[in-house]
Structure 1
Amino acid sequence: MAASLMHTAIAQSAATPAAPTPLATAATPGATCSPLMHQRFPRLQDEVPQDLCQYAGRVALVVNTASYCGFTTQYEGLEALYAKYQGKGLVVLGFPSNDFGKQEPGSSKEIADFCYNTYGVKFPMFSKTSVKGPQANSLHAALIKATGKAPEWNFHKYLIDRNGQVVRSYPSQVTPDDKALVADIEKALAQKL
């Protein structure tokens, strides 16, 4: 595992969801951005704000991550899932968080180096943020409200369908290759816009 990370607070970027906006992307021409996805968060590697509407029309698996957790090896499975289904419309969205056991203490650069160099992560990752309680970023707050389930630990997952509707919440113990999770992803990918 990578050397110990130094604790550096990263300001979270949370936008208020807005009305749906038409968005055309190469993968999903004419897709409409749902209020849930109508948000911006800074990209992990360079802090450049990213509009989640760029993923409109795709199935999204939102995961809160951490570098020093017993579930950290799930990065491998998440990357494999992303590689297998990306061409069919899946995107994995990683949100590092230090909310559980202080297991993500590093700066964005340190986290990025760890994810990209240790696990070869290619799916979109965002800057460290809070995913629970009153400090939860706006996306996670909406996911918690929609499912009634807040993350209880690192690597909690939420599945969002092509229309921007929350399908289901999965606890940390559900691995990326879990048959029920994969079946839910495949079912969501088979849906039409």
Structure 2
Amino acid sequence: MTAPYILVLYYSRNGATAEMAKHIARGVEQTGMEARIRTVPSVSTDCEAVAPEIPAEGAIYATYDDLKHCAGLALGSPTRFGNMAAAMKYFLDGSLNLWLTGELVGKPAGVFTSTGSLHGGQESTLLSMMIPLMHQGMLICGLPYSEPELGSTQSGGTPYGPSHYAGSDGKRPVDQNELALCHALGKRLALIAQKLES
């Protein structure tokens, strides 16, 4: 039996969502709980590509066992037309066995995203990522307004979860308000998971 951990599962193309994942993991680790960072491979429109078992860089690919055994989940994806990226949807679509056996019921989950424009679907993407998690019976955790950055941010950050405005070229760095909200989500998930475990 492994120690409880929060799975920080993300998909990223230009690095912003991956950067957010690292800061969510730091928030988790502030509580003394382990954060397990994982990603998912890209999908091909022509055929299912065969990705190497271990990517050349970044986090390793998630398995359904990573998801099954987590004490909580932070799920992140860049926005694709106001929705999560196909790669993340593809991974979640493959989690039917976890749904059939109720493995994720009652575990806390939160979501995060990055967009190329300020009003590029941050909230709709976060809401769309919550739907399969609710079907799995997970407990959705947003960010309360007791987090002061929700009131001061001029870029990303919502009560539905952390978000980031990356700019049209995808190169705008994650700012201090966005980072603080990432830390807050990680910490919140870990503390809730610890309370549920006890």
| TM-score, normalising length: structure 2 | 0.36
The structure with the largest helix share of the pair is 2
